[in-house]
A = this chain, B = another copy of it.
């Protein structure tokens, strides 16, 4: 009968979902925008910019780091965060590819 009952999700689906999840909270979006907007890196200023506590910001930073989207480097007593350029390129390419070229025509049923 049905052609293809999939066994599992594709690598692409898993990867895009991972990136999407990393960006699925306003605080993490705000952090990424901050890091993208500054030409130099930011440290604990992030905490000052966000409307949440230091520990919560740290948690969000950890998630972004684990997703590979940002990196941190010790700079004296502070830590300097910035975009992880190679991974960010991968993300933009993937999402760009996914969200740009799709042209949906109005379908018959909806």
A interface list, Cβ under 8 A from B: 2, 4-10, 12-14, 16-17, 20-30, 33, 36, 39-41, 45, 48-51, 71-73, 75, 80-85, 88, 91-92, 95-96, 99-100, 102, 104-110
Contact = CB atoms under 8 A, between A and B. Distances in A.
A2 B104 contact: no
What is the copy number of this chain in the assembly?
A: 2
Contact of A110 (B45, B73, B99): B73
Given A96-B99, A99-B96, A109 B75 contact: yes
Contacts of A26: 9, 13-14, 17
Given A5-B49, A88-B104, A96-B96, A109 B28 contact: no
B23 A16 contact: yes
A24 B30 contact: no
Given A92-B99, A102-B92, A109 B17 contact: no
B92 A41 contact: no
A29 to B, nearest CB: 4
Contacts of A83: 104, 107
